[in-house]
């Protein structure tokens, strides 16, 4: 009997799914970069892993102190995640501020984070440049709060875009420091993408990364109307075409091919690749106008169902509130178990 018990325990441990966590800040409308850098992986991971996904509303206060539209944005992010295929019955989908355990872990981790290393992070330096009038302590300790988000569930895989690599490295450093000082408590988390390479989707001008706050005309939002998508794609930068067969593609052209690779059929991509490679001076086969028309229609077909489903969900606030309540319950069960271990390790339990 005892032997059976041991075997069952062993099997349970061996079968235990790895823990996955990721978050998105509710600082605007979600776009194609969020989808291909993060959400597409969330959806694929939900069957294989024990998943926690959340809306980082505390993080958004570091750059967006005005909270008039915050709740609306939080619910929209939840709706858009579900519209992209997340199943709230399979994962825990919650709002950061509904899990106060994260804030306590953030406090302990803050004692292990040094001013010098925080000041050196790229995102902090960028934000200082962007908002010199509001260099708050929350901005400085942003990576510490992010580490608390991850470690509170003892997550090991964190599906994020390439821009988050440094924050993940810092989370590992804080976890290692905690383990070293207070005893082995946290596994080390890593940024994750199915194709091993982290993704970076560029804006339609091929210059900066597509982002919620950069140039709105070069970002394709999941909430964009069909005609707006057509207009944005039409305005994407092109040139008069290659002058020799198999030329190197300029960044902005490569970007159109990359986007096409994400939403169009393989045959379509191949046709335009062939046209590009077989073009030569006086015989430019590729017609960028046609390519952009095709890309626009495929984009519309991709985004339209997500936008429609997200809008339906946003009209059902009761359902969204029920989902985040349920998500918070699941998340707090996991978070409070970790926090209890952490409190003991740090010496906060008097028993």
* Torsion of Cα atoms, 249 then 252 then 258 then 264, to 10°: -110
Question: Judged by CB under 6 A, which stretch of 1-9, 159-167, 298-306, 337-345 contacts ligand ADP?
Answer: 159-167
Q: How far apart are CA 136 and CA 56, in angstroms?
A: 17
* DSSP annotation of 23: E
Cα–Cα distance list, 205 to 216, 229, 238 (Å): 11, 14, 9
Which of the choices ligand TRP, ligand ADP, none does residue 149 contact, using the CB cut-off of 5 to 8 A by kind? ligand TRP
By CB under 6 A, is residue 164 in contact with ligand ADP? yes
Size, binding site for ligand TRP by CB under 6 A: 13
- Beta carbons within 10 angstroms of residue 334's beta carbon: 20
Question: Judged by CB under 6 A, which stretch of 22-30, 67-75, 82-90, 199-207 contacts ligand TRP?
Answer: 22-30
Whether 212 is a known active-site residue: answer yes
- CB-CB contact of 296 with 230 (8 Å): yes
By CB under 6 A, is residue 45 in contact with ligand ADP? no
Q: How far apart are CA 248 and CA 257, in angstroms?
A: 13
Question: Judged by CB under 6 A, which stretch of 20-28, 92-100, 127-135, 328-336 contacts ligand ADP?
Answer: 20-28
By CB under 6 A, is residue 56 in contact with ligand TRP? yes
Which residue from 210, 233, 299, 300 is in contact with ligand ADP, where contact means CB under 6 A? 210
Q: How far apart are CA 303 and CA 29, in angstroms?
A: 13
Smallest separation, CB 69 to ligand TRP (Å): 18
* Sequential DSSP letters for 145-207: HHHHHHHTTT--EEE--GGGHHHHHHHHHHHHHHHHHH-S--PPPEEE-TTSSPP-PBPTTSS
Q: Where are the alpha helices (DSSP H) in the chain?
A: 2-15, 32-34, 40-45, 57-60, 70-83, 101-110, 115-120, 122-130, 137-140, 142-151, 165-182, 226-234, 251-263, 266-277, 288-314, 317-346
Whether 127 is a known active-site residue: answer yes
For ligand TRP, the closer CB: 59 or 307: 59
Which residue from 50, 80, 101, 149 is in contact with ligand TRP, where contact means CB under 6 A? 149
Among 94, 210, 205, CA closest to 161 = 210
Query: What are the residues whose beta carbons fall under 8 Å from the beta carbon of 41, sequence distance 6 or more?
Result: 22, 159, 192, 193, 194
Question: Judged by CB under 6 A, which stretch of 103-111, 157-165, 200-208, 232-240 contacts ligand TRP?
Answer: 157-165
57, HSE (Cβ side, Cα atoms, 13 Å) = 20
Smallest separation, CB 206 to ligand TRP (Å): 22
Whether 292 is a known active-site residue: answer no
Which residue from 152, 170, 175, 199 is in contact with ligand ADP, where contact means CB under 6 A? 199
- Which x/- pattern, by CB under 6 A, does the window 25-54 give for ligand TRP? x-----------------------------
Question: Judged by CB under 6 A, which stretch of 143-151, 180-188, 197-205, 272-280 contacts ligand ADP?
Answer: 197-205
- CB-CB contact of 127 with 63 (8 Å): yes
For ligand TRP, the closer CB: 145 or 260: 145
Structure token pair of residue 253 = 């052209």
What's the start-to-end Cα distance of the chain, in Å?
33
Which of the choices ligand TRP, ligand ADP, none does residue 209 contact, using the CB cut-off of 5 to 8 A by kind? ligand ADP
Which residue from 51, 102, 148, 201 is in contact with ligand ADP, where contact means CB under 6 A? 201
Q: Which residues are near ligand ADP by CB under 6 A?
A: 24-25, 27, 33-34, 37-38, 160-161, 163-164, 199-201, 209-212
Q: Which residues are near ligand TRP by CB under 6 A?
A: 21-23, 25, 56, 59, 146, 149-150, 158, 160, 164, 167
- Catalytic positions, written as ranges: 127, 209, 212
């Amino acid at each position: 009997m005892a032997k059976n018990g041991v075997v069952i325990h062993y099997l349970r441990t061996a079968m235990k799914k790895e823990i996955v966590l990721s978050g998105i800040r509710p600082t605007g409308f979600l776009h194609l970069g969020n989808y291909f850098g993060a959400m597409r992986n969330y959806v694929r991971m939900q069957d294989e892993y024990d998943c926690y996904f959340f809306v980082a509303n505390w993080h958004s206060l570091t750059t967006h102190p005005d909270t008039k539209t915050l709740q609306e944005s939080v619910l929209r992010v939840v709706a858009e995640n579900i519209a992209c295929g997340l199943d709230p019955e399979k994962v825990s989908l919650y709002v950061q501020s509904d899990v106060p355990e994260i804030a306590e872990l953030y406090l302990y981790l803050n004692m292990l984070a040094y001013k010098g290393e925080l000041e050196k992070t790229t995102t902090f330096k960028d934000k200082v440049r962007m908002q010199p009038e509001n260099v708050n302590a929350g901005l400085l300790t942003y990576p510490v709060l992010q580490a608390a988000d991850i470690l509170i569930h003892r997550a090991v895989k964190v599906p994020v875009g390439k821009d988050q690599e440094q924050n993940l490295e810092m989370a590992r450093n804080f976890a290692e420091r905690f383990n070293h000082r207070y005893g082995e408590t946290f596994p080390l988390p890593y940024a994750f993408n199915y194709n091993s390479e982290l993704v970076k989707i560029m804006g339609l001008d091929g210059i900066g990364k597509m982002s919620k706050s950069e140039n709105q005309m070069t970002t394709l939002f999941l909430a964009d109307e069909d005609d707006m998508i057509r207009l944005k794609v039409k305005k994407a930068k092109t040139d008069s075409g290659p002058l020799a067969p198999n030329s190197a593609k300029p960044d902005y052209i490569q970007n159109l091919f990359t986007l096409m690779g994400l939403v169009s059929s393989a045959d379509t991509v191949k046709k335009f690749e062939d046209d590009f490679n077989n073009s030569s001076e006086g015989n430019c086969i590729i017609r960028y106008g046609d390519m952009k028309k095709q890309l626009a229609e495929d984009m519309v077909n991709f985004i339209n169902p997500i936008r429609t489903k997200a809008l339906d969900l946003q009209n059902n606030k009761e359902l969204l509130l029920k989902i985040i309540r349920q998500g918070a319950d699941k998340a707090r069960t996991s978070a409070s178990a970790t926090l209890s271990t952490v409190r003991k390790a740090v010496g906060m339990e008097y028993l």
